């Protein structure tokens, strides 16, 4: 991330060419050994869909595998269905469900994917290594 610091994230769901990533607030030293069991993985600051390219290329290194915490919410989105012209609930895998009232729709976001560079820049801003931009508010839980 910056100043020899790395952020911790966990893949919550593998998607087609993308991943749903939970990003956590703690920073670790880049050369620091990490005991995965000692890392708190239940209160992410971002829950965001992004491309898996940085993972595949090894830029975002893999520390290990562990169960996704039940405390991490499964995201729901709104999607406009035409016809009949209504919002419906959609899960992370794209499955469309029940009709949403206008009030329910107002509380949900449209499904959106962010580039890995946006996530990295948002983390720098969050930790004071760069500016925080209003657009990063979309990443926050």
In a domain, 95, yes or no: no
> And the tokens for 25?
């607030």
Query: Does 43 reside within a domain?
Result: yes
Q: Tell me: the pLDDT tens digits for 27-51?
A: 888 777 777 777 889 999 999 999 9
| Range of the structural domain that residue 120 is part of | 5-66+112-138
39 within a domain of the structure (yes/no): yes
Q: Where are the beta strands (DSSP E) in the chain?
A: 5-14, 18-29, 46-51, 76-81, 86-91, 96-99, 109-110, 113-114
Q: What average pLDDT values come out for the chain (141 residues) when binned by 10 residues?
A: 84 94 89 76 94 93 90 94 95 95 96 95 94 93 77
For residue 100, being part of any structural domain is answered with no
**How far is the CA of 96 from the CAs of 28, 47, 76, 115, in angstroms?**
39, 20, 10, 24
Answer whether residue 122 is part of any domain: yes
pLDDT at 92: 94
Q: Is residue 18 part of a domain?
A: yes
The whole-angstrom separation of Cα 54 and Cα 39 is 21
Q: What is the pLDDT of residue 93?
A: 93
CB under 8 A, 24+ apart: contacts of 26-33: 27/1, 27/127, 29/4, 29/5, 30/4, 30/5, 30/6, 31/4
**92 is a domain residue:** no
Instruction: Evaluate whether residue 86 is within a structural domain.
Output: no
Number of domains forming the structure of the chain = 1
Task: Report whether 71 contacts 92 (CB < 8 A).
Answer: no
């Amino acid at each position: 991330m910056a100043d020899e610091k790395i952020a911790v994230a966990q893949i919550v769901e593998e998607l087609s060419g993308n991943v749903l990533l939970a990003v956590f607030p703690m920073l670790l030293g880049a050369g620091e050994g990490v005991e995965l069991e000692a890392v708190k993985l239940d209160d992410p600051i971002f829950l965001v869909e992004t491309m898996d390219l940085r993972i595949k290329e090894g830029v975002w290194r893999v520390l290990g595998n562990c169960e996704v915490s039940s405390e991490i919410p499964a995201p729901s989105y709104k999607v406009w269905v035409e016809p009949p012209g209504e919002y419906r609930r959609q899960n992370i895998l794209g499955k469309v469900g029940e009709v949403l009232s206008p009030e329910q729709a107002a509380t949900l976001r449209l499904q959106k994917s962010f580039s890995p560079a946006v996530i990295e820049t948002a983390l720098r801003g969050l930790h004071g290594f760069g500016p925080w931009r209003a657009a990063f508010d979309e990443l926050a839980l």
